[in-house]
């Protein structure tokens, strides 16, 4: 009987423990989640060769589906590596966006390995833009 109760309690606690990467993106300004770096990339890729275009800007994607991009090279982003732990906080949400256009949210990211932070949008254009 004790073994059954312990097993039920353990599975209940396990169900409550959501992995950080599965936490999704923060939805309210000031809210933060923990995730990891999925990949660090250049902003642009050559369409003919599918190779990154060096110096075209920084881009980073996260295990929880988050993405940030910059037209400039961001040393803090470029120093990140796949698997690095990240604290990702929603910094701002643009106002007056057309329904369904969620682009332009800015996130502050802190790499917990390098202790470097940056603030970038989730797309090259804000809502209602190109």
**Residue 2, phi then psi, degrees to nearest 5:** -60, -40
Confidence of residue 59 (pLDDT cuts 50, 70, 90): very high
Instruction: Pick the closest to residue 107 from 45, 65, 52 (CA basis).
Output: 65
DSSP string, 66-125: -EEE-SS--HHHHT--TT-EEEEEEEE--SSPPTT--TT-EEEEEETTT--EEEEESSSS
Whether 8 is in a domain gets the answer: no
Whether 90 is in a domain gets the answer: yes
Q: Is the pLDDT of residue 17 over 50?
A: no
> Do residues 52 and 60 lie in contact, with contact meaning Cβ atoms separated by under 8 Å?
no
Range of the domain at 95: 20-121
Whether 127 is in a domain gets the answer: no
- pLDDT tens digits, residue range 66-90? 999 999 999 999 999 999 999 999 9
SS3 call for 130: coil
Stretch 97-112: mean pLDDT, rounded?
Answer: 94
Q: Is the pLDDT of residue 3 over 60?
A: no
Whether 107 is in a domain gets the answer: yes
pLDDT at position 32: 98
Whether 1 is in a domain gets the answer: no
Whether 75 is in a domain gets the answer: yes
Q: Is the pLDDT of residue 22 over 70?
A: no
Which is more confident, 106 or 18? 106
Number of domains present in the structure of the chain: 1
Confidence of residue 125 (pLDDT cuts 50, 70, 90): confident
Whether 11 is in a domain gets the answer: no
Whether 7 is in a domain gets the answer: no
The rounded distance, in Å, linking the Cα atoms of 47 and 45 is 6
The rounded distance, in Å, linking the Cα atoms of 112 and 122 is 20
pLDDT at position 23: 64
């Amino acid at each position: 009987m004790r073994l059954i109760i312990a097993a039920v309690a353990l599975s209940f606690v396990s169900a409550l423990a959501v992995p950080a990467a599965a936490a999704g993106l923060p939805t309210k300004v000031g809210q933060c989640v923990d995730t990891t770096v999925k990949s660090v990339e250049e902003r642009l890729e050559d369409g003919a060769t599918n190779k990154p275009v060096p110096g075209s800007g920084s881009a980073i994607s996260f295990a929880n589906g988050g993405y940030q991009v910059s037209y400039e090279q961001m040393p803090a982003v470029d120093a990140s590596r796949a698997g690095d732990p990240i604290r990702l906080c929603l910094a701002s949400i643009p106002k007056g966006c057309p329904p369904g256009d969620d682009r332009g949210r800015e996130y502050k990211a802190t790499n917990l390995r390098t202790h470097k932070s940056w603030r970038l949008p989730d797309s090259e254009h804000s809502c209602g833009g190109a």
